[in-house]
Amino acid sequence: MGDLSKDINSKFENNRIKAMINILYTANWISAAQIEFLKPFGISPQQYNVLRILNGAGVALNVQTIKSRMIDRSPNVTRLMDKLCAKNFIERLPSATDRRVVKIKITKEGKDLLESIPKDFNHDLIKNLTESEALQLSDLLDKMR
């Protein structure tokens, strides 16, 4: 992965178009790397994100809250929860007063899984950037949104 123009063998109308294509191309590159990294742990990047949200919250959360905090707001959050529940990484806690309300909590197995995954697994993806460059990139992406 290097120069976008060479990687996808294309010329661009202008630098803004090139930047937009580069963001999409890089996002897919990051996603593919994360999928490969997490494969041995038996979870997807979205499932990893849910586990981190629950672990960081320290309390059971409703599905809507989890969905609002996700990086990739998948419409299939219920299916993600089903898979995590089947692996015993989360548990559903039905409300005693309202059966429509269900809270989600990370289990000990889910916490153990998170502990087994190196915290710095994304660092290789940004190793070519200095701290200053990473801050500049982050600021530019914030400005874009």
With a cut of 60, say whether residue 6 has pLDDT above it.
no
Alpha-carbon span 103 to 127, nearest angstrom = 38
Percentage of the chain exceeding pLDDT 70: 94
Per-residue model confidence (pLDDT) at position 115: 96
Alpha-carbon span 62 to 58, nearest angstrom = 13
- Alpha carbon 125 to chain centroid distance? 14
Per-residue model confidence (pLDDT) at position 13: 87
What pTM value is reported for the model?
0.82
Closest of 34, 35, 46, 55 to residue 113, by C-alpha? 55
Alpha-carbon span 100 to 126, nearest angstrom = 43
With a cut of 60, say whether residue 65 has pLDDT above it.
yes
**Mean pLDDT across 51-72:** 92
CB count within 10 Å of CB 84 equals 25
Residues 6 or more apart in contact with residue 134 via CB below 8 angstroms:
126
